[in-house]
Each structure stands twice: as C-alpha cells, then as structure tokens.
C-alpha cells in the first residue's frame, strides 16, 4: 500500500519528508483552509466555482 503524498511548500513529498516550522502561522494560530471538490465521469464538477470559493476562503 502506498504511504501517500503530501503537498507542502509548493512541492509534493512523502509524508516522512513533510516538515514545517513550529513558527508557521498555520501551526501557531490554526490558520487553515479546507475544501472538497467532486468529480463526475473523470471531470471536476463546477471547478471554476470551487476555485473561486476556495480563493475567497484563503483571502480572509
């Protein structure tokens, strides 16, 4: 079974190599943005709308 992949600091790395500073605002203040998108027949459903909503979330 694959251990997965992590996207951190604009790079895809293995979970063992995913490291962040304890001074990162996401770590200190719990700053985070979480979103989920759906696919249908191998296509993203309403991708542009999803990306717009996600951008508004991270701009707050």
Whole-prediction pTM:
0.47
pLDDT (tens digit per residue) in 3-58: 889 998 889 999 999 998 999 888 888 877 888 888 889 899 999 999 998 899 88
Predicted confidence at residue 2, as pLDDT, reads 66
How confident is the model at residue 12, as a pLDDT? 95
Q: Residue 43's domain spans which residues?
A: 6-59
Phi-psi sector, 23: left (phi>0), alpha (psi -120 to 50), beta = alpha
d(CA 37, CA 53): 11
CATH number of the domain where residue 24 is located: 3.30.470.10
* 24 found inside a domain: yes
Tell me which residue of 38, 33, 37, 40 sits closest to 55, measured CA to CA: 33
């Amino acid at each position: 079974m694959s251990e997965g992949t992590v996207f951190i600091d604009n790079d895809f790395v293995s979970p063992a190599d995913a490291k962040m500073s304890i001074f990162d605002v996401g770590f200190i203040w719990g700053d985070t943005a979480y979103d989920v998108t759906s696919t249908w027949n191998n296509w993203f459903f309403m991708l542009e709308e999803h990306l717009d909503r996600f951008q508004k979330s991270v701009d707050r």
